Amino acid sequence: MKFKIGKYFTTYSITAGLSIAVLGSAFIYLAWLGISNRIVDTSLGVLFFWFLLKSDRRIWLWSGFFISLLWFWWIVVSFKHYQMLWAIPIGLLAISLIYALLFWTIAAVSEWLAAALTPKPHTGHASLSKAIGILGLSHIHPFGFDWFKPELLFVHSYIGVQKWQLAIVLAAIILSQYRKHILFLLLVLFAYAPAKTTVYYQDPHSDMLLAHTMTTVEEKWDPARIPAHITEVFAIIDKAISDHRQTVVLPESVFPFFLNKEPKILDALLERSRQITIIIGALYLDDKSIHRNATYIIQKGRYTIANKVLLVPFGESNPLPEWVGRWVNKVFFDGAIDYIASAKPTDFTVHGTRYRNAICYEACSEVLYEGSPKQMIVISNNGWFIPSIEPTLQRLLLEFYSRKYGTEIHHSVNMSPSYTIKADSI
């Protein structure tokens, strides 16, 4: 494989890559605008894969570059909270180059295999390898980050979100292009799935209150404002009690301190838990002085802990080698200490219903859905990425998993609306 850099910086390659990336990202921005149409999302998804499979490695490189930019630019919004505005363009470039390299590798290897193994190479041969690469993309997690799912394009469409349904779509496109007959696209009908998800915002008649707070990152970690945060949290709980709710769920780290080391606050929560079950996010310090991001499940005067399983790369746990990670934390993150993750997800029972615990980032990972839990409670703090499309992409991923596994998801959020997601069927 020869790499001539000049051939990649042509107007056609860059424009074609950008156009394909727009097709593959439009569903996010339509959802962000509150626009949902199953015909439109189905068409956009099929067109994205059609043009991507038809393109060569140069266009794949730019498609990966711009897809990453359009899907994940929000990651660098968090830099402003560390006074690292200078790092934003560097972060954008790094994120985009990672996916550009992934896409280029899939296309380049596919084209090389087609040329090496087939006496008379045809674009259809390379397309088959590229399709296999697309199916495998959701299993490639740079630095442990696994929010890129090709199947996600169909979350609001008439096409299912299972891997085999994406395989049918790709096969239909390849046959149409290889045999040069558009009727092969009718095979997409075999990937049809009537199931969809419905998002419910604050139901006043529900026994469960999914609390929604609006506390910025700066306010949350300002010691002078902690008394005000505590007052706000207890006001929400007391209102839920007066409204005869059975359960109240509050967002991730709504208490930005080690709650188990604050006996007065904990005792007040335990006392109220005799009237209402309280599920609340806060930090937890165990007997070995290990820091954990935790959910406190407080009911009937007692509490249990559900610790986070998958930590945010760099934000909560540095994925780099230890000696490099310590230096990065010291220089860029004010010497922050990494959290420690639990080995497996925690399930707990509230009022006879069993729930899977999930904290923000990890709720968008396949690992948390092992065993197909019927109910999940998610607590999040989206303040790090406001304003951006991150809350929308997060909700789409939760809808994706709800639709894929049939899990009903209850999501309490800081800095974006709280909601429940229900899937019609798997």
- Residues with catalytic annotation? 252, 308, 360
Using CA atoms, how far apart are residues 156 and 414, in angstroms rounded to an integer?
A: 25
- What are 399's two structure tokens? 């809808």
State how far the alpha carbon of 26 is from the alpha carbons of 19, 61, 116, 351, in Å: 11, 19, 36, 41
**d(Cα 166, Cα 225) in Å, to the nearest integer?**
49
What contacts 252, CB < 8 A, 6 or more positions away? 281, 293, 359, 360, 379, 380, 381, 414
Rounded distance between C-alpha atoms, residue 6 and residue 72, angstroms: 27
Other residues' Cβ atoms within 10 Å of the Cβ of residue 382: 19
Task: Please give the helix or strand (H or E) that residue 325 lies within, else none.
Answer: helix 322-332
CB atoms within 10 A of CB 259: 24
Specify the pairing of strand 247-249 against strand 277-285: parallel
Peptide bond preceding 150 in cis form (omega within 30 of 0)? no
Look up tokens 């899939």; give the residue.
Answer: 106
